Structures are given as C-alpha cells and as structure tokens.
Amino acid sequence: MKTRRNFTPEEKAKIVIEVLREEKTLNEIAAEYEIHPNQLSRWKAEFISNAGRVFSKETDEVEKVKQSYEKEKDELLKQIG
C-alpha cells in the first residue's frame, strides 16, 4: 500500500502554476507528479478562487488583531452586563 504524500503549499502552487501555463495538459502534469487529475483540478480551482487574497490589504495578522479585540470586547460587555 502506498503512503499518502503531503505537498507543501509552495509545491502545490508551483504545480498549479505549471497547469495554468498550459504548456502540458493537466493529465500530463498529474502523471508527472503522480497526482490524480481530479485532485489537481481541485487545487487549481482553490488557487484561482483565492487569488484575490494576494492583493488584499488585510493580512492574517490584521485579522488576528480584529478577532482579539472582538473577544476582549465581548468579555468586557459580559462583565458590565
């Protein structure tokens, strides 16, 4: 039985970019990396749907700070009733 391989986000991005270049077919690239074509299609769809985040001004750090403030605000509201 084969062990399951885990690709890093960087590896996935590299492979998906190769698909987007269209120098080879999706099936050829899938065979080259020993990935099922359906999996590669899902990675491609996820990559495209999240592409806008690259240009987003809000980063993960900003989101973490927002969540921290919201949590603190909720706790303070509970204290004052």
pLDDT digits (tens, 9 = 90+) for 19-64: 999 999 999 999 999 999 999 999 999 999 988 877 776 667 777 8
At residue 28, the pLDDT reads: 98
Range of the domain at 33: 9-80
Residue 59's pLDDT is 67
- Asked whether the beta carbons of 46 and 18 are under 8 A apart, the reply is no
Please write the tens of the pLDDT for every residue from 53-68: 777 766 677 778 888 8
Residue 56 lies in a domain: yes
Count other C-beta atoms under 10 Å from residue 19's C-beta.
Answer: 19
Is position 1 within any domain? no
d(CA 4, CA 18): 22
pLDDT of residue 41: 97
Q: Which two tokens stand for residue 12?
A: 């996935």
- State both tokens at 22: 């269209």
- Residue 2 inside a domain? The answer is no
Number of domains the chain is built from: 1
